[in-house]
């Protein structure tokens, strides 16, 4: 029996940290990154699978692993998948911004449809746990479009029926982004000032690595079942 971590959103702020944490974690034998294009990361545990998030239903993991595997590096993993001798945990840090997506419609497709398509696929593969990075303020009934979409994703994930669904709701994220987000940069400064005396703790900006470590903890150390919301305050405890 082997342990597999399958990840979407590995190129983002939290996703990058998550991959590095998974590489260091001895309990995972393989780390499968699912993305539209190959990541510029190398590790002996890492296997990259390119997919079309819009047509995830047709994505077959075994076929993807065989494709281009001339050296037979994936043979062991393929056998475990075929024999169903594995435990799989699925991690999702997939997301964008309305500005980067170009429109509300495009944002919804990426932050909602792609996430749900990935989750359904992971469930079909046999993933028992699904750990999803949402956002502080996520609420399907919110008047704020971003929060509304995140809340809708949470509600739709609950319908898929994972043994365990961990929903992580971080505040403004701190870390080394590849692109600058002016609104977030201003927000970080303001919230640091507001939370300095200890007020409004739940809004305190949080580092990417703390979210990643919290996700691994919930996946490996908690035997909970059902749905669990992990707040930004709870994640701050991870060093």
* Active-site annotation holder among 45, 109, 120, 146: 146
Of the candidates 123, 129, 150, 210, the residue annotated as catalytic is: 150
How, if at all, do strands 30-35 and 164-169 pair?
A: unpaired
Q: Is 30 a catalytic residue?
A: no
Please confirm, yes or no, whether 42 is among the known catalytic residues.
Answer: no
- In angstroms, the CA 52 to CA 115 distance is 12
**Catalytic residue positions?**
146, 150
């Amino acid at each position: 029996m082997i342990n597999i971590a399958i990840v979407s959103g590995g190129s983002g702020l939290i996703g990058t940290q998550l991959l590095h944490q998974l590489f260091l974690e001895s309990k995972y034998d393989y780390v499968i990154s699912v993305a539209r294009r190959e990541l510029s990361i190398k590790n002996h545990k890492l296997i990259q699978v390119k997919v079309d998030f819009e047509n995830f239903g047709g994505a077959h993991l075994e076929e993807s692993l065989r494709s281009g595997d001339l050296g037979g590096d994936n043979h062991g993993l393929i056998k475990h998948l075929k024999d169903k001798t594995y435990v799989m945990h699925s991690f999702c840090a997939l997301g964008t911004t309305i500005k980067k997506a170009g429109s509300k419609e495009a944002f919804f497709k990426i932050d909602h449809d792609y996430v749900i398509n990935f989750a359904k696929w992971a469930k079909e593969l046999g993933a028992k746990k699904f750990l999803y990075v949402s956002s502080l303020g996520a609420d399907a009934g919110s008047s704020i479009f971003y929060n509304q979409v995140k809340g809708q994703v949470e509600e739709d994930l609950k319908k898929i029926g994972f043994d365990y669904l961990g929903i992580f709701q971080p505040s403004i994220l701190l870390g080394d982004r590849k692109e600058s987000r002016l609104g977030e940069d201003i927000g970080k400064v303001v919230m640091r000032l507001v939370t300095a005396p200890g007020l409004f703790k739940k809004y305190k900006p949080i580092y990417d690595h703390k979210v990643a470590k919290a996700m691994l903890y919930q996946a490996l150390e908690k035997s909970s079942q059902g749905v669990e919301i992990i707040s930004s305050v709870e994640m701050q405890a991870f060093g």
